[in-house]
Amino acid sequence: MDGNTSETSSQWGPFGRPLFDDPKSLALKRVGVIDIGSNSVRMVVFDGAARSPAYFFNEKVMCALGAGMAETGHLNPSGRKRAYSALKRFKLLADQLNVRTLTAVATAAVRDATDGDAFRKEVLHDTGLDIWVINGEEEARLSAQGVLLGWPGSFGLVCDIGGSSMELAEISDGQVGKRVTSALGPLKLRDLPGGRKARVKTIKSTMTKLAQQMGDQRDRLFLVGGSWRSIARIDMHRRGYPLHVQHEYRMSADDVHDTTKYLANADQEALRAACEISSNRMQLVPYAADVLTEIVRQFKPKDIAISSYGIREGLLYEQMPQELRDRDPLIEYCRFAESKDARIPGFGRALFNFVLPLFPNSSPAQIRLIKAACLLHDVNWRAHPDFRAETCFDTATRANMGGMKHGERVFLGLALLHRYRNKRESTRFDELSDLIGEEAQHAAEVLGKAMRLGAMLSPNETSKSDVALNWSAEHNLLQLELAKAIEPLFGEVAQARLSSLAETLGAETKVLVT
């Protein structure tokens, strides 16, 4: 294939030719990032599909470098020792893991501390690790780029809270706009004199100034940072929310109000244990909750989304060519998974063409989920047959895939479940069923059973022209067309699968052999 536009359009459809094995994408394998924050030091090594990267390595050490800085002006002594030790370990691990590029960035604590530069020089001398100390606006830009990694083309306001600072960045149509920084980090707020009354007053006055700088921001509010994720966990706990995936979890202004109140009245230790939040993090959550309350009051976002992607992912995004940035992260993830784990890589495209006639009026958002399901339909074949359906469901609902709402995760999981199982009773879907409506549940079942049939009739992508489905809702007729050469593939089991699909559609069937 030469990659020209017409061939790409005709052979690959609206998602374009896969790029995960393109040289520009392969250059992003084993990219390492060390994030030296005011509260934690973390190293992540990215690998897999560059547009939807997997966390090949991910380790965090809680150091609290910024604790007490308001009084001393210095990095916290014990935190400095812990951070230094963690950085020595991370540098050695990166060398052993053959990390191609390793970037270390430091944010508010190191840039504000009087001994921050001395710490940076000590690390450089002892480890060879050159720490890039970034200012608040650059931190805001990189965090916003991390959000764009998961939500390409998004509109809204990104709010990244660290230990010693909080940044805001505007994103619009895939670009980062205005950016501001502030000292509204929980570690700094904790050290303010005057108690909660003085703290709330400081937050309000600071946020008023930030709102004036940022202007009207009524789109989505994207929350980046460990304290926000902890608040999301508490919100999930309060609501009894069944899907414990923080990325793309949604909250409303009322949820923020109710959860802040719930937090204030709860037994902190019992709540911390129930939500599996570390003690160090839990101590900072009430301060972050006060900040979030004021953000929501000032900006009045239409909704609130948690992003697990931030500055580290933003640094990876920084290294991507624009062609890769423009790709759908979900589809690129699924293509990579198929190429790596499926028995017949490439068959997902033929299966997509086979099932698509069942969904003639689907929106682009629905088509991409159908495409994703077809690409993932066989990646869990190594699982024991008795548990394959459940494994598929878990892959969709729990895997590190970007670009999906929680309801879309459940739809994809249900479709994959029905790829291997006719019935969904007594599965994990039962506890998540409220996240999608009955119409979506029916569509997922149709998709799953169509994939279940197609996998028996067209064992490779070269035979895709030998078999076709046609569906007429007007005539209530499901027609299967088979080339004479492959008629023997339509055995008893395939016939039963066609009948099951027709029953779900409430249709009559007709088989044509040509």
State how far the Cα of 284 lies from the Cα of 186, in Å rounded to an integer: 6
Query: Which helix (H) or strand (E) is 171 found in, with range?
Result: strand 166-172
Shared-domain flag, residues 274 and 173: yes
Residue indicated by tokens 């040289």: 23
User: Quick check: 203 and 189 in contact, CB under 8 A?
Assistant: yes
Q: Which of 81, 114, 133 is the last residue of a domain?
A: 133
Establish if 266 belongs to a structural domain: yes
Does position 9 have pLDDT exceeding 80, yes or no? no
Which among 360, 461, 452 is positioned nearest to 414, based on CA atoms? 452
Both structure tokens of 105: 């960035």
pLDDT band of 5, cuts 50, 70, 90: very low
Q: What is the pLDDT of residue 217?
A: 87
pLDDT digits (tens, 9 = 90+) for 259-299: 999 999 999 999 999 999 999 899 999 999 999 999 999 99
Shared-domain flag, residues 353 and 275: no
DSSP result, 275-300: HT--HHHHHHHHHHHHHHHHHHHHH-
Range of the domain at 447: 327-463
Establish if 345 belongs to a structural domain: yes
Shared-domain flag, residues 331 and 422: yes
Establish if 415 belongs to a structural domain: yes
Q: Determine which of 91-105, 406-420, 457-471, 483-497 has the lowest per-residue pLDDT on average.
A: 457-471
Shared-domain flag, residues 152 and 164: yes
Shared-domain flag, residues 83 and 95: yes
Please report how the helices 438-457 and 492-505 are oriented relative to each other, as an axis angle in degrees rounded to 10: 160
Query: Which helix (H) or strand (E) is 393 found in, with range?
Result: helix 388-398
Q: What is the pLDDT of residue 321?
A: 86
SS3 134: coil
Mean pLDDT on 144-158: 92
Q: Rg (Cα) of the chain, in Å, rounded?
A: 25
CATH number at residue 127: 3.30.420.40
Does position 28 have pLDDT exceeding 80, yes or no? no
Query: Which helix (H) or strand (E) is 79 found in, with range?
Result: helix 77-96
Establish if 479 belongs to a structural domain: no
Shared-domain flag, residues 79 and 64: yes
pLDDT digits (tens, 9 = 90+) for 224-241: 999 999 999 999 999 999
Identify which has the larger pLDDT, 361 or 24.
361
Establish if 356 belongs to a structural domain: yes
DSSP result, 328-340: -HHHHHHHHHHHH
Shared-domain flag, residues 353 and 422: yes
Mean pLDDT on 161-165: 91
Q: What whole-number percentage of the chain has pLDDT above 90?
A: 75
Q: Which of 99, 114, 133 is the last residue of a domain?
A: 133
SS3 56: strand
Q: What is the pLDDT of residue 3?
A: 33
Q: What is the pLDDT of residue 77?
A: 95
Contacts of 216 (CB under 8 A, 6+ apart): none
pLDDT digits (tens, 9 = 90+) for 396-447: 999 888 889 999 999 999 999 999 999 988 888 989 999 999 999 999 999 9
CATH number at residue 411: 1.10.3210.10
Shared-domain flag, residues 62 and 154: no
Shared-domain flag, residues 162 and 228: yes
State how far the Cα of 350 lies from the Cα of 12, in Å rounded to an integer: 10
Does position 8 have pLDDT exceeding 70, yes or no? no
SS3 401: coil
Amino acid at 318: E
pLDDT digits (tens, 9 = 90+) for 315-331: 989 988 888 888 899 99
Shared-domain flag, residues 348 and 445: yes
Entry pTM: 0.89
Please report how the helices 279-299 and 253-265 are oriented relative to each other, as an axis angle in degrees rounded to 10: 140
Both structure tokens of 428: 């994990």
Establish if 11 belongs to a structural domain: no
Q: What is the pLDDT of residue 30?
A: 85
Task: Name the domain count of the chain.
Answer: 3
Both structure tokens of 381: 């074949």
Mean model confidence pLDDT for the chain: 90
Q: What is the pLDDT of residue 451?
A: 96
CATH number at residue 259: 3.30.420.150
Q: What is the pLDDT of residue 482?
A: 92
